[in-house]
């Protein structure tokens, strides 16, 4: 069955450092992968999408890589700030109309001032 693993449940880093979150998957050939941010008690908010034929995508302080050979995506937040503290979810999507997705359990990032 399809499975997604995000590297750890919690990640604590110091303000200004780069946070790196990992998403590994098995038994899946996704068309694309997305990263979401979720604050406590709120719905997830879309951050970045990367397609199967893309290696890297950037948006401001965010960078996502996608290695379909390793079946892994890395999510980086550079110059991290306490406001970046949240849970980050990765999700894999197949390329069908139903767009069924598989979400990881998330990694909770805490950026300490």
Q: Which residues bind other proteins (CB under 8 A)?
A: 4, 9, 31-32, 34, 41-46, 49, 51, 89, 91, 93, 95, 97-101, 103-106
Secondary structure class of 93 (helix, strand, coil): strand
Sign of the C-alpha dihedral computed for residues 73, 13, 89 and 62 taken in this order: negative
Alpha carbons 111 and 94: distance in angstroms, whole number = 33
Alpha carbons 10 and 72: distance in angstroms, whole number = 18
Least CB distance to other proteins at residue 79 (A): 25
Least CB distance to other proteins at residue 16 (A): 28
Nearer to other proteins, 72 or 94 (CB): 94
Structure tokens, 37: 């941010």
Secondary structure class of 112 (helix, strand, coil): strand
Nearer to other proteins, 8 or 14 (CB): 8
Least CB distance to other proteins at residue 7 (A): 14
Nearer to other proteins, 53 or 113 (CB): 53
């Amino acid at each position: 069955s399809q499975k997604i693993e995000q590297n750890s449940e919690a990640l604590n880093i110091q303000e200004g450092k780069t946070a790196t979150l990992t998403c590994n998957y098995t038994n899946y050939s996704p068309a694309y992968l997305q990263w979401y941010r979720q604050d406590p008690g709120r719905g997830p908010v879309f951050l970045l999408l990367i397609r199967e034929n893309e290696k890297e995508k950037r948006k401001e302080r965010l960078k996502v890589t996608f290695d379909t050979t390793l079946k892994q995506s890395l999510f980086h937040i550079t110059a991290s700030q306490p406001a970046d503290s949240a849970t980050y979810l990765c999700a894999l999507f197949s390329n069908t109309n139903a767009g069924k997705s598989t979400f990881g359990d998330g990694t909770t990032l805490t950026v300490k001032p």
